[in-house]
């Protein structure tokens, strides 16, 4: 079983839609939960991170962590064509090693 | 201003050839990482280094070797390339300590082994 599972999509939504991206994990030692955004032909860039359980909001983006279910989510409100990218979840217990999901490709149509 | 650079950006080679991918960083970070990215498999860790004298295998190190020449330089070698090493390779860096250590990625090297 992979440490981190993520639906690869692709996910296609109209502009303005609410997008929900999700990952599940198996290692209960993970404490740090990250979302990276990767544009085509670029390296991943950190979008948001959370520590332990709970929610974190940054503009149109909200990250949620449910450690009891080993489930994390990223919500994008009022999605824009510029949000079209691949979104990768990542997790770590102590920053020594990071474990990434396979990425979900999102396309926001104008 | 590219803080993490990778060379070459694209490389096509043949089975059995020795290949070196290079990574340099100006961020002053101690930690450096090599990942490969394959469709449907995401980013997988090949090797990581916490300082010049500390190098560790990741989950898929077979067929690869690394060299940490300096704090700022971390090279990945494929001693005898094979087609299933065709992938997108990323170098990343991070700080040590602190409340949160973000990883910063280079632009990637697209390697094709024929």
The distance of B20 to chain A (nearest Cα, Å) reads 19
B48 contact residues in A (CB cutoff 8 A): 97
Q: How would you classify the pairing of strands A99-100 and A11-14?
A: unpaired
A96 contact residues in B (CB cutoff 8 A): 50
What is the sign, positive or negative, of the torsion defined by CA atoms of B55, A29, B101, A85? Answer: positive
The distance of A34 to chain B (nearest Cα, Å) reads 9
C-alpha B61/C-alpha B48 separation (Å) is 10
C-alpha A109/C-alpha A107 separation (Å) is 6
Backbone φ and ψ of B77, nearest 5°? -120, 140
C-alpha A59/C-alpha B67 separation (Å) is 41
**How confident is chain B (114 residues) per 10-residue block, as mean pLDDT?**
88 97 96 93 93 93 96 96 97 86 93 97
The pLDDT, as a whole number, for residue A53 is 85
Q: How would you classify the pairing of strands B73-78 and B65-70?
A: antiparallel
B35 contact residues in A (CB cutoff 8 A): 100
For residues B15, A39, A10 and A77, what is the CA-based torsion angle, rounded to 10 degrees?
Answer: 160
The pLDDT, as a whole number, for residue B8 is 97
pLDDT in tens, A33-52: 999 999 998 999 999 999 88
The pLDDT, as a whole number, for residue B2 is 59
**Cβ-contact A51, B100 below 8 angstroms:** yes
């Amino acid at each position: 079983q992979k440490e981190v599972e993520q639906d690869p999509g692709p996910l296609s939504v109209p502009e303005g839609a609410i997008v929900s991206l999700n990952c599940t994990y198996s290692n209960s030692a993970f404490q740090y939960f990250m979302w990276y955004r990767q544009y085509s032909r670029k390296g991943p860039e950190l979008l948001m991170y959370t520590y332990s359980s709970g929610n974190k909001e940054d503009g149109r983006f909200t990250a949620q962590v449910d450690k009891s279910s080993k489930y994390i989510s990223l919500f994008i409100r009022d999605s824009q064509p510029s949000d079209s990218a691949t979104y990768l979840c990542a997790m770590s217990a102590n920053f020594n090693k990071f474990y990434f999901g396979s990425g979900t490709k999102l396309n926001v149509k104008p | 201003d590219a803080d993490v650079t990778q060379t070459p950006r694209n490389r096509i080679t043949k089975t059995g050839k020795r290949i070196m991918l290079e990574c340099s960083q100006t961020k002053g970070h101690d930690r450096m990482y090599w990942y490969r990215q394959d469709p449907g498999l995401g980013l997988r860790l090949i090797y990581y280094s916490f300082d010049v004298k500390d190098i560790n295998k990741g989950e898929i190190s077979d067929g690869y070797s690394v060299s940490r020449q300096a704090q700022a330089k971390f090279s990945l070698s494929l001693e005898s390339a094979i087609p299933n090493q065709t992938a997108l390779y990323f170098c990343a860096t991070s700080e040590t300590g602190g409340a949160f250590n973000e990883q910063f990625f280079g632009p990637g090297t697209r390697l094709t082994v024929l």
